[in-house]
Amino acid sequence: MNNPPQFTWDDLQFFLAVARTGQLSTAARQLRSSHATVSRRIDRLEFTLKVKLFERNPRGYVLTAMGTRFVETAERMEQETERLRADLADGSMAQRGLVRLSAPEGFANFFFATVLPQFAAQHPHLALELVTIQQIMSLSRKEADLSVVLDEPKGGPYFAEKLTDYHLQIYGSRDYLAKAPAITCREDLLEHPFVSYIEEMIFAPGLDYLGDVHPRIKPQFQSSSIFAQLTATRNGLGLCILPYFFASRYPELVRVLPEEIDLKRHYWITCHRDLKQAPRVRAVIDFLREAVRGEDARFVPPYVTAAGPARRTRADV
């Protein structure tokens, strides 16, 4: 009688890492291993199973038809392993491991980075990877364990919870506004250069807000980076729609038409349902929820009410 193929869960972890990234070097970084070790593990798994899982080419590793089928089996085993770890973990071991969080640049740099010392103090055994590249990380392919997103996920096997509302206004630098034509209504905005996102690179509908201010605004400078937009605005390049929670930190920036223009957006925290109860993931979700709740005033201007911007006794500009 032939013995069944023998392989370990470690072999499957190496397989999944390569299947999701298509690159030995990227998989090695994720696994904190070496390029050679990952290659050796894949070769061993294929030899054990007596089946070809990947096609090798100069651009990387591409799943074969059998490899694609094997991904489904391996991911089910991964999910069950996560559940088992969660069930077995006691209070002292529950919050250990590595969590990869994907978040928009603004939220990551101007909020989450500011509360990282508290996170480290509360969870000394949790390692964190914060990804801020301008694209949506795939939760289904486990490119990230958790994501902060601007739009609630529609459908799919995902848990989602709203973290907070946040508000945006139009800002300009004091020096720019002192020299530029006066702004008393929305039509006046057409006389000013705008700083904004590159239209075809907007990665979330929640960032497409120029049309909400005026349908005929055409930006003069565009960038995929909100930090670059902020820097350009502070240096007097023009007007820009910026989140209150970080634009308000800069005294050289002034709100434009604050009584009339106030946009509200939302941040959501989301993850694959299979990871929701993993102790390491749950710890980050709980921390984010409490951190945002404790800093709620940073996201909403003090004069904004449930009915919208309140009238002020004097204009900002």
Please report, for the chain, the start and end positions of each structural domain, with discontinuous segments joined by +.
7-87, 97-159+269-301, 162-263
What is the mean predicted confidence (pLDDT) over 54-80? 87
Which is higher by pLDDT, 131 or 135?
131
Q: Which residues contact 207 (CB under 8 A, 6 or more apart)?
A: 150, 197
Which is higher by pLDDT, 176 or 91?
176
- Domain 162-263, what architecture? 3-Layer(aba) Sandwich (3.40)
What is the reported pLDDT for 2?
Answer: 56
**Are the beta carbons of 62 and 18 closer than 8 angstroms?**
no
Answer yes or no: is pLDDT of 115 > 50.
Answer: yes
Q: Mean pLDDT score of the chain, rounded to an integer?
A: 85
What is the mean predicted confidence (pLDDT) over 301-309? 56
Would strands 194-196 and 97-102 be described as parallel, antiparallel, or unpaired?
A: unpaired
What is the reported pLDDT for 139?
Answer: 53
Percent of the chain whose predicted confidence (pLDDT) is above 70: 86
- Give the C-alpha separation, 152 to 149, whole Å: 7
What is the reported pLDDT for 317?
Answer: 39
> Tokens for 262?
């106030």
Amino acid letter at 212?
Answer: D
The CATH number of the domain covering residues in 97-159+269-301: 3.40.190.10
Answer yes or no: is pLDDT of 13 > 90.
Answer: no
Query: Which of 271, 267, 292, 268 has the alpha carbon at shortest distance from 281?
Result: 271
Query: Which of 294, 251, 255, 100 has the alpha carbon at shortest distance from 177?
Result: 255
- Domain 7-87, what architecture? Orthogonal Bundle (1.10)
Do the domains 97-159+269-301 and 162-263 sit in the same CATH topology, yes or no?
yes
Answer yes or no: is pLDDT of 141 > 70.
Answer: no
What is the mean predicted confidence (pLDDT) over 145-150? 90
Quick one: pLDDT band at residue 199, thresholds 50, 70, 90?
Answer: confident
Q: What is the pTM of this model?
A: 0.67
